[in-house]
Amino acid sequence: MSDPFQGKKPEQPGLTPGCQRCEEQAKVGVYICRCGGNISDVVDVERVAEAARQMPGVATAKVHTFMCSDPGQQLITEDILAVGVNRVVVASCTPFLHESTFRGAVARGGMNSYLYEHANLREQCSWAHRHDPAGATEKAIRLVSAAVGKARCDAALDQIRLPNHRIALVAGGGIAGMKAAGDLAACGLRVVLVESTGALGGQLLGRGAVYPTETDAEHIVAGLRKEAEGNPHIEVLLNSRVRSVSGFVGNFQVTIEGRFGPGGQSATTSLTAGALIIATGFHPYVPAEGEFLYATHPGVVTMPDFLQMLQSAPGGTRMLEVQGRPIRSMAFLHCVGSRQIDGVHTPGPDGRLNTYCSRVCCTTALQQEIAVRRRFPETAVFDLYQDIRTYARGTEDYYRTASEAGVVFFRYRGEEPPVVEAGEGKGTRRTPLAVRVKDTLTWGEELRLPVDLVVLATGMVPNAIPELVDSIKLPTGEDRFLQEVHPKLRPVEVSVNGVLLAGTAQAPMDIRETLSAAGAAAVKAAAMFAHEDVELNPYVAEVDLSLCEGSGQCVTQCEYDGALQMVDVIVGDRSVRRAQVNPGLCVGCGACVAVCPQRAIQVNGWRLDQYEAMIDGIVAEVAVGAH
């Protein structure tokens, strides 16, 4: 096995000292936030501060209206310098929001930023128990007591440093992949862009005009393609797929299968990349055979099929013709393959329904309806919808314009979708199809619409990437799209460090959103390459070789490939088998800690003695009954 560190071993903290040693030197500062009333309207924060002052090791306890503000942070730095505070507890809102904020304040005071603990008094007290202020206050005191107990056992930790390969791999050559690759290359970074088909462009190829600018899709694709293919920093691999990924941030080992070399022979190649951007995109939903008569009647087509038909339709006529057939009337059906309902729709091959909204279908349908009415005014157009969701700026105008252009709207309930059936009649009066619908706009009247063509406004389905999902354990949501860490705080990151999302691999998006997400992913990746080393939080497992007896139980329990393995090490004057942690792959879950009979492995920052101190703090009676 090759050395993933290439001879440069990661810098990481040693095992922290025991709890008793830390308690002797701890001077804890406790800082309680009113959160502008979010906490103090329910929790008696002054009483919490009074109780905190009586806790062992607490040097000071203060209350502030907004601890995350500059004056609030200044309280912390001033007390570190003036009072000698050497441990900090902040009791405020969720650490998701401001953990980095308070770590920065601690560091500005000259303290190690990991000598800080957080107690969540908003989500876990005031918001959870707003009808029980006394109970919320008591719980807040106990949470602060637990944080103080852990803080007294804290010891300084340093970030882990790993070598960083300043190469980005972008999987997917649609507009998201090309945008991300171009932005990274503009930063002077090397990019490998992998596309499974023979051309860059993805789903925009051959799409015609796109909303809301009515720009030709090929113009958008051509600009991005020129930037990607003409940039010396970007290597484009067509007809290629990422087959496997191993390693960790800064050091991903990637295997690519494709046609390489002058002869275009099928082969595999490998590279080491520092970051991965997943831009594998989507494909339009394909209805099952017989769904709305799809694939059983030539007059039923999907929206992508219709876009091609409309582009190739002959001009100079007042009525749309499709394959030589005049289309006197046509119907667009919304939400085909989206917003599916259990018991109404048939699950797909994987047994799941597409319960999500695909976001772009409504506006696309309206855009094409307007195009038909303007080019072919003698073709009647019907629109059958659950809800019109033209959510983006400027797209509501399509709904208004379609109405003014003569499109007739019918609204159905999701539980009672339209029914498409073969038409009736003879000779010139015969129509190939009919659509039956209960129209809620006319108080549930059941209507039968004779039409020559039915267009199914199909939604988005994420492209399957089992190789990537399985090899690096990418998180997916119930909708099968890749799952970000947090939609607002970390919108393009996944729980795997160094892996970023771009575009519709993550969720249904329109073109503008896709390009914005791709740009955000590129910025995040570029920030990772700002230094020669990758810096990671030190909350990883650590083995005490003086206690480890090499049972291997920890390795068996670990679910993260390569994070923990048995190796030969020298202890004293002999070679023995011992557990070794790869800090780049360890996520600090603690599963290994639970099975070690010698307690030879611990998670830095979350040692067992720290948990015990937290439990002691929770059950301690620290002025809970006083007022």
Q: Are 28 and 34 in contact (CB under 8 A)?
A: no
401-452 confidence digits (pLDDT tens): 999 999 999 999 999 999 999 987 655 556 799 999 999 999 999 999 999 9
In 122-274, the DSSP E strands lie at 160-163, 167-171, 190-194, 209-210, 215-216, 234-237, 241-248, 251-260, 265-273
Q: Are 60 and 36 in contact (CB under 8 A)?
A: no
Three-class SS state of 446: strand
247-274 confidence digits (pLDDT tens): 999 999 999 999 876 667 888 999 999 9
Name which of 234-243, 450-459, 568-577 the model is least confident about: 568-577
**Would you tell me the crossing angle of helices 217-229 and 175-186 to the nearest 10 degrees?**
40
Integer angstrom CA distances of residue 475 from 471, 485, 500: 11, 9, 12
Q: What is the pLDDT of residue 536?
A: 87
Q: Is the confidence at residue 18, as pLDDT, over 50? A: no
Q: Is the confidence at residue 131, as pLDDT, over 90? A: yes
User: What is the rounded CA–CA span in Å between residue 191 and residue 521?
Assistant: 13
Q: Are 189 and 42 in contact (CB under 8 A)?
A: no
User: Which CATH fold would you assign to the domain 167-281+463-530?
Assistant: FAD/NAD(P)-binding domain (3.50.50)
- 167-281+463-530 and 286-459 in the same fold: yes
Spans of all domains in the chain: 7-158, 167-281+463-530, 286-459, 540-603
Q: Is the confidence at residue 46, as pLDDT, over 60? A: yes
User: Which CATH fold would you assign to the domain 540-603?
Assistant: Alpha-Beta Plaits (3.30.70)
Q: What is the pLDDT of residue 3?
A: 47
Q: What is the pLDDT of residue 626?
A: 44
User: Which CATH fold would you assign to the domain 286-459?
Assistant: FAD/NAD(P)-binding domain (3.50.50)
Confidence band (pLDDT; 50, 70, 90) for 534? confident
**Would you tell me the crossing angle of helices 133-153 and 45-53 to the nearest 10 degrees?**
40
Cis amide prior to 13 (ω within 30 degrees): no
Q: What is the pLDDT of residue 627?
A: 42
Q: What residues contact 411, with CB distance under 8 A and at least 6 apart?
A: 384, 385, 386, 387, 439, 440, 441
Name which of 108-117, 258-267, 270-279, 465-474 the model is least confident about: 258-267
Q: Which of 380, 327, 336, 370 is nearest to 354 (CA)?
A: 336
Confidence band (pLDDT; 50, 70, 90) for 85? very high
User: What is the rounded CA–CA span in Å between residue 477 and residue 472?
Assistant: 16
User: What is the rounded CA–CA span in Å between residue 261 and residue 248?
Assistant: 29
Q: Is the confidence at residue 21, as pLDDT, over 60? A: no
Mean pLDDT on 41-58? 96
pTM reported for the whole predicted model: 0.81
Show the tokens assigned to 321.
């013709």
Q: What residues contact 73, with CB distance under 8 A and at least 6 apart?
A: 67, 101, 102, 104, 105, 108
Q: What residues contact 487, with CB distance under 8 A and at least 6 apart?
A: none
Q: Cα torsion at 94, 98, 104, 105 (round to 10°)?
A: -80
Q: Is the confidence at residue 591, as pLDDT, over 90? A: yes
Q: Is the confidence at residue 20, as pLDDT, over 60? A: no
Q: Report the percent of the chain where pLDDT is more than 90.
A: 80
DSSP code of residue 562? T
User: What is the rounded CA–CA span in Å between residue 541 and residue 583?
Assistant: 8
Residue 491, Cβ density class (10 Å: 0-12 exposed, 13-18 middle, ≥19 buried): middle
Name the H helices within 236-351: 303-312
3-state secondary structure 34-90: CHHHCCCCCCCHHHHHHHHHCCCCEEEEEEECCCCCHHHHHHHHHHHHHCCCCEEEE
**Would you tell me the crossing angle of helices 511-528 and 175-186 to the nearest 10 degrees?**
40
Got the DSSP string for 391-433?
A: -STTTHHHHHHHHHTTPEEEE--TTS--EEEE----GGG--SE
Mean pLDDT on 101-130? 96
Confidence band (pLDDT; 50, 70, 90) for 277? very high
Q: Report the percent of the chain where pLDDT is more than 70.
A: 94
**Would you tell me the crossing angle of helices 303-312 and 361-375 to the nearest 10 degrees?**
30
Three-class SS state of 533: strand
Name which of 112-126, 340-354, 419-433, 558-572 the model is least confident about: 419-433
Q: What is the pLDDT of residue 2?
A: 42
Confidence band (pLDDT; 50, 70, 90) for 15? very low
Element (H, E) at 281: none
Q: Is the confidence at residue 9, as pLDDT, over 70? A: no
Q: How many CA atoms lie within 13 A of 429 on its CB side?
A: 3
Site of tokens 């107990």? 149
CA end-to-end span of the chain: 64
Name which of 353-357, 422-426, 440-444, 549-553 the model is least confident about: 422-426
User: Which CATH fold would you assign to the domain 7-158?
Assistant: Rossmann fold (3.40.50)
What is the dihedral sign for C-alpha 261, 265, 270, 273?
Answer: positive
Q: Is the confidence at residue 175, as pLDDT, over 50? A: yes
Mean pLDDT on 443-467? 95
Integer angstrom CA distances of residue 98 from 33, 67, 602: 12, 10, 26
What is the dihedral sign for C-alpha 99, 105, 107, 112?
Answer: negative
Q: What is the pLDDT of residue 473?
A: 87
User: What is the rounded CA–CA span in Å between residue 271 and residue 247?
Assistant: 11
Beta bridge partners of 118: 90
User: Distance of alpha carbon 559 from its chain centroid, rounded?
Assistant: 21
How would you classify the pairing of strands 380-385 and 408-411?
Answer: parallel
Show the tokens assigned to 217.
């899709």
Q: What is the pLDDT of residue 623?
A: 55
Q: Which of 563, 331, 557 is nearest to 439 (CA)?
A: 331
Q: What is the pLDDT of residue 430?
A: 64
What is the dihedral sign for C-alpha 180, 181, 186, 188?
Answer: positive
Q: Is the confidence at residue 8, as pLDDT, over 50? A: no
Q: What is the pLDDT of residue 4?
A: 40
Q: Is the confidence at residue 524, as pLDDT, over 60? A: yes
